Structure 1
Amino acid sequence: MQSTNLECFLDCTTPVVPSQFLSKSEASKLNRLWHPWEREKVEFFSLSDLWNSFDEWSAYGAGVPIKVDAGEDETIIQYYVPYLSAIQIFTSNSALNFLREETDSETRDSFSDSFSDESESEKLSRWDGCSSEEGVFEHENALPFNDRLGNLYFQYFERSTPYGRVPLLDKISMLSQKYPGLMSLRSVDLSPASWMAVAWYPIYHIPMGRTIKDLSTCFLTYHTLSSSFQDTDNEDHNGFSKKKREVGEGIHVPPFGLATYKMQGDLWTSGRNGNDHEKLVSLLNVAGCWLKQLNVQHHDFNYFMGYRHG
């Protein structure tokens, strides 16, 4: 069965990351609140490999085949560039202590000093997710430890205009200079509350020449970073029929939530007798519920939804 335009977008922008397996001794030490399932083999990926999966997309854009005229069966390739929109990484006390020891003390001290003049209300608003600044992991600023949520190691919320942003891989490279855990942490080290949002902006399509309103649509995809949700749903992939992984194929990190901006017409919702529209509504609701559950104000999500804050 031929994929719809929405299915093609979700498939073509889903990262596929090299798979690794924990040793039995390491698997026995996993947090059972985060990894309650007994598995013969515990599969995981490293965050560095996840970011590297965005390498080509960050440089050239992700190509998505889109059927623009069902009657004439005309297909074009639309390219989208990924940008880091938001990220929160929650991990355990032991991992946090290790990262603190590994971080260069001079970098840590200078970054701590940069927030020394903040008022308490500014600190609270930053930890509530209302700031675009990175989070810090100093003891005096860290959130109280929660067994299920974990400790907040890092967070970032982008507030720049699309034209003022750098592609995802470049942004991560910049942020990891102060936060090496962005490269060294693994999906099994992260709590189920760890997530990221990727903003996808269209840049060009091949062949050129056609002006189609819906090709200006922007997307916001939400992805879990923790192994806790990995392969727990055997029925669907991106909300559609799940594709069986090939032998040796990497781990798929599909979006669990989605928001759109400038979506006009029915280019993205005309497939599967209305099922695509239902799926868009469902993915949007999940994204909104996720942010509400974590008490997060996500700037891009609010903008996409038309919320305006002073």
Structure 2
Amino acid sequence: MPSLDGNLDRFIESTIPFVPAQCFSKTDLRSLRNAGAADLQCYYNLSDLWESFKEWSAYGAGVPLVLKGNEKVVQYYVPYLSGLQLYVDSSKLPSSMPRRAGEESDGDSGESASDDACDQVQAQSVLGSLGRLSLRDQPLQTGGYSSDDAEASNPQGHLIFEYMERDLPYIREPLANKISNLSRQFSGLKTYKSSDLLPSSWISVAWYPIYRIPMGPTLRDLDSCFLTYHSLATPSKNISDGHPGLLGTSRGRKVNDDPSHILCLRIFGLASYKFRESIWTNGIQQASSLSKAAKDFLHQLKVRHPDFDFFITHGS
């Protein structure tokens, strides 16, 4: 494992989710080849991703930090679901599924709809009361973007699930608990694979500090909070390994003692709050670059992420 020069590097390395890689069957590979996607390498199950957050949600993710005077501590951060969008190819949706929540299907109603299709429609209609906030609801102040335009010319695919957190941090549920509750309304959160999703699918995790070891007096330098952004789709062989947001193989993590069967969801964007130079000095330029990457990505999708807006306007 390469040496980590700064505390931001240590934070990023310590909060990357690792999931078991799944191999395609011969039948799946033939289907992918026929669909023009034969360059997909492997996939992971979304259920495994949520499983990877369970321990962190309960106890926090330990991040080794070096303070002034080379004092070493382990700061623990709890993950919270901040934002999530799942996009799929609209041509692969069930024919009985409306393209928008509330639309009627061309086919027979009721009996022909699959359970997943019902879940997808329900997710889009229910999430309005659970925290949706996007430019489909609130146009860009600098342009004339409308919801009709979004549906007519969205190159990102069909949005089947969206969640944007707006609760204050102290009343939020840790990520694993939140996903468990949301999956009762949209079972696709547990059943979808990364290979089902388009590259525009993403998740943002909010990390808040809770305690450190060894314990000591409260340190304002350790109050920093972070948003990390991760791509959820399966990468392709023909995309550079250095491309931000792609899955990558692990370095030292093991599942069933075979590190080649692990994927990590690399961070492609980041935002920070209470980010003080005294402890994060070596990461200032990196944090700025990652923040711009997150901003550009959200702008490309035409989505407003409430936590990102807050971090950018209130961050140090």
Q: TM-score range by the shorter chain?
A: 0.7 to 0.9
Shift of residue 248 of structure 1?
3.4
What is aligned with 2:16? 14
What is aligned with 2:72? 75
CA distance 1:113–1:174, change in 2 (3 Å): closer
Tell me, yes or no, if structure 1 residue 191 matches structure 2 residue 188: no
- What is the CA–CA distance in structure 1 between the aligned matches of 2:275 and 2:34, rounded to whole Å? 42
- What is the CA–CA distance in structure 2 between the aligned matches of 1:42 and 1:110, rounded to whole Å? 29
The CA deviation string for residues 224-243 of structure 1, in whole angstroms up to 9 with x for no partner, is: 0001368944348889xx97
Does the CA contact (< 8 Å) of 2:250 and 2:263 recur in 1? Answer: no
The CA deviation string for residues 266-306 of structure 1, in whole angstroms up to 9 with x for no partner, is: 31123xxxxx3221111000000001001111100000011
Aligned residues: 281
What is aligned with 2:107? none
From 115, 119, 133, give the equivalent of 1:102: 115
- What pairs up with 1:248-287 in 2 under 5 angstroms? 248-270=260-282, 276-287=283-294
From 136, 143, 153, give the equivalent of 1:128: 136
- What is the CA–CA distance in structure 1 between the aligned matches of 2:14 and 2:238, rounded to whole Å? 19
Shift of residue 247 of structure 1?
3.6
CA distance 1:111–1:192, change in 2 (3 Å): closer
What is aligned with 1:135? none
What is aligned with 1:224? 231
- What is the CA–CA distance in structure 1 between the aligned matches of 2:80 and 2:236, rounded to whole Å? 23
AA in 2 matched with 1:24: K
Shift of residue 42 of structure 1?
2.3
Shift of residue 31 of structure 1?
8.6
Does the CA contact (< 8 Å) of 1:82 and 1:167 recur in 2? Answer: yes
CA distance 1:147–1:301, change in 2 (3 Å): closer
What is aligned with 1:64? 63
Shift of residue 96 of structure 1?
3.7
Shift of residue 125 of structure 1?
6.9
What is aligned with 1:165? 172
Does the CA contact (< 8 Å) of 2:19 and 2:52 recur in 1? Answer: yes
What is aligned with 2:189? 182
Shift of residue 103 of structure 1?
4.3
Does the CA contact (< 8 Å) of 1:129 and 1:297 recur in 2? Answer: no
Shift of residue 244 of structure 1?
5.0
- What is the CA–CA distance in structure 1 between the aligned matches of 2:127 and 2:205, rounded to whole Å? 28
Tell me, yes or no, if structure 1 residue 90 matches structure 2 residue 87: yes
- What is the CA–CA distance in structure 2 between the aligned matches of 1:106 and 1:80, rounded to whole Å? 32
CA distance 1:251–1:210, change in 2 (3 Å): same
- What is the CA–CA distance in structure 2 between the aligned matches of 1:32 and 1:127, rounded to whole Å? 35
AA in 1 matched with 2:179: I
AA in 2 matched with 1:150: G
AA in 1 matched with 2:75: Q
- What is the CA–CA distance in structure 1 between the aligned matches of 2:123 and 2:175, rounded to whole Å? 25
Of residues 222-231 and 44-53 in structure 1, the stretch that sits farther from structure 2 once superposed is: 222-231
**5+ long unaligned stretches in structure 2:** 98-112, 139-147, 253-257
CA distance 1:15–1:32, change in 2 (3 Å): farther
From 296, 299, 311, give the equivalent of 1:304: 311
CA distance 1:168–1:110, change in 2 (3 Å): closer
Shift of residue 190 of structure 1?
0.2
| Aligned-pair Cα RMSD in Å | 3.8
Tell me, yes or no, if structure 1 residue 45 matches structure 2 residue 57: no
Does the CA contact (< 8 Å) of 1:129 and 1:298 recur in 2? Answer: no
TM-score, L = length of structure 1: 0.77
CA distance 1:145–1:251, change in 2 (3 Å): farther
AA in 1 matched with 2:55: E
The CA deviation string for residues 47-98 of structure 1, in whole angstroms up to 9 with x for no partner, is: 00001000100000000000012x3x21101000000000000013365429
Question: What percentage of residue pairs aligned between the two structures are identical?
Answer: 38
Does the CA contact (< 8 Å) of 1:191 and 1:228 recur in 2? Answer: no
Of residues 21-30 and 176-185 in structure 1, the stretch that sits farther from structure 2 once superposed is: 21-30
Does the CA contact (< 8 Å) of 1:222 and 1:258 recur in 2? Answer: yes
What is aligned with 1:136? none
TM-score, L = length of structure 2: 0.76
What is aligned with 2:298? 291
- What is the CA–CA distance in structure 1 between the aligned matches of 2:245 and 2:7, rounded to whole Å? 13
What is aligned with 1:273? none
